[in-house]
Amino acid sequence: MIGAMLGEAWLAMGTNRLRTFLTMLGMMIGVGAVILILAIGKGAQFMVDQSIAAMGSNLFIVMSGSTTSGGLRMGLGATPTLTIADAQAISELPGIVAVAPNAPGTAQLVYGSNNWSTQVMGTTPSFLEVRDWQLSAGYPFSDSDVRSATRVALLGQTVVKNLFGDEDPVGKTIRIKNNPYHVVGVLAPKGQSLDGRDQDDTVVVPVTTAQRKLFGSQFQGTVRLIMVQASSPQAMPAAERSITELLRQRHRLQEKAESDFMVRNLTALANTAAETARVMSFMLGAIASISLLVGGIGIMNIMLVSVTERTREIGIRLAIGARQRDILLQFLLESIMISIAGCVVGVALGIGGALLMNRLADMAVLITLSSVLLAFMVATAVGVFFGFYPARKAARMEPIEALRYQ
């Protein structure tokens, strides 16, 4: 019975093709917009999530802070106040998983006839752990390399591309500031950071090497910042307090004195960014949903016209034994079919639009099965909701009046 009714609904849709198409247009645009916006929103969220994962989770950055000398206040990191010993002390606090001191600087690299200027980062092996950074080739340097300040380096992908091209860099020797460094490993690609920097354009060396042999004059036994990884998101507030307390103690700061360092919760920042992306896509989705509503009203409008036009047909059906619910079901199926057909085209339009956005505007898009399923569920609901009133109107007709209708 349902099968026969579906066939008739299909025929009814085919009878007035232009009208059916125009009715579907509302659904197409609405569903297309929802799919497109969900794709862009999810794409943005995916990017943010990836950036968070690339940054490492539960992460603090302790920056060496401003100091005041003769009434002149210096910017953050201007005065190196943090030491490797500070990092060591932090790593012994409860709730801390890993600590990586960081002494960055810029240097010119040379290999053969190629040269490249990039950021050189002095740190410890735990840096890779904190940043959740894998090696794609070779091995990381060890704690004994840090102790003896050996000239070893890990290269980022961008650096490898610029210095070595297709050559395998592991085991080769490059020159940094004219001193030879042994390349022990290559960092796995990490992509852009949240602020758009190329994270692969970097060289990692032991922190002691950076301090003593590369940027000696800049960092006399000090580091620019210390990366700290807490054991869990829940442990972060307590860890932040204890780091502050510990460092103030170690730096012998008076009760009222300003801290000469700063603790930043990076995960919280990233989460804010993720939350912003989520709220944005939700709001845009809500706006797109309004066009679905308008599409639904269009369906109701046309179904009401259709019911009136087909009054005589309804009369004939009632005369030969259709019950109220048969008529109701028939018209309801018709509006659901229009709605779902519009949805199918809309999903195709939305996916096409998303891919086009990706291709032309280089925008991250992510089409998930759940958003497509959601679109279908909403379309069906719209069909039922806006089709019900016209269908009920059809079903409630009196047989004799419907038959007499010209």
Residues in contact with another protein by CB under 8 A are: 1, 3-5, 8, 11-12, 15, 312-313, 316-324, 326, 399-400, 403
Least distance (Å) between residue 5 CB and another protein: 8
User: Phi/psi at 150 (nearest 5 deg)?
Assistant: -75, 160
> Would you say 210 and 105 are in contact if contact means Cβ atoms under 8 Å apart?
yes
Residue 297 or 319 having the CB closest to another protein: 319
Enumerate residues 6+ apart whose C-beta is below 8 A from 2: 329, 333
Q: Which amino acid is at 364?
A: A
> Would you say 289 and 375 are in contact if contact means Cβ atoms under 8 Å apart?
no
Least distance (Å) between residue 23 CB and another protein: 17
β partners of residue 103: 122
Least distance (Å) between residue 315 CB and another protein: 8
Residue 224 or 317 having the CB closest to another protein: 317
Least distance (Å) between residue 337 CB and another protein: 15
Question: In angstroms, rounded to a whole number, what is the distance separating the alpha carbons of residues 306 and 321?
Answer: 21
> Would you say 98 and 130 are in contact if contact means Cβ atoms under 8 Å apart?
yes
Residue 312 or 359 having the CB closest to another protein: 312
Residue 1 or 18 having the CB closest to another protein: 1
Question: In angstroms, rounded to a whole number, what is the distance separating the alpha carbons of residues 226 and 130?
Answer: 11
Question: In angstroms, rounded to a whole number, what is the distance separating the alpha carbons of residues 237 and 259?
Answer: 18
Least distance (Å) between residue 367 CB and another protein: 38
> Would you say 342 and 295 are in contact if contact means Cβ atoms under 8 Å apart?
yes
Residue 12 or 299 having the CB closest to another protein: 12
Residue 19 or 241 having the CB closest to another protein: 19
Radius of gyration of the chain (CA): 33
Enumerate residues 6+ apart whose C-beta is below 8 A from 205: 120, 121, 122, 123, 141, 151, 152, 153, 154, 176, 181, 214
Least distance (Å) between residue 309 CB and another protein: 12
With vertex at residue 382, the alpha carbon angle to CA 378 and CA 388, rounded to the nearest 5 degrees, is 145
For residue 36, what are its two tokens?
């497109």
Least distance (Å) between residue 1 CB and another protein: 6
Question: In angstroms, rounded to a whole number, what is the distance separating the alpha carbons of residues 8 and 2?
Answer: 10
The candidate with the shortest Cα–Cα distance to 340, out of 301, 297, 384, 287, is 384
Residue 10 or 46 having the CB closest to another protein: 10
Kindly tell me the sign of the dihedral angle through the C-alpha atoms of 322, 326, 328, 329. Answer: negative
The residue to which tokens 């030491």 are assigned: 83
> Would you say 116 and 169 are in contact if contact means Cβ atoms under 8 Å apart?
no
Least distance (Å) between residue 16 CB and another protein: 10
Question: In angstroms, rounded to a whole number, what is the distance separating the alpha carbons of residues 229 and 232?
Answer: 9
Residue 10 or 389 having the CB closest to another protein: 10
Residue 147 or 323 having the CB closest to another protein: 323
Least distance (Å) between residue 388 CB and another protein: 19
Distance from the Cα of residue 310 to its chain's centroid: 51
Least distance (Å) between residue 7 CB and another protein: 8
Least distance (Å) between residue 301 CB and another protein: 21
Residue 117 or 324 having the CB closest to another protein: 324
Residue 280 or 403 having the CB closest to another protein: 403
For residue 182, what are its two tokens?
């042994």
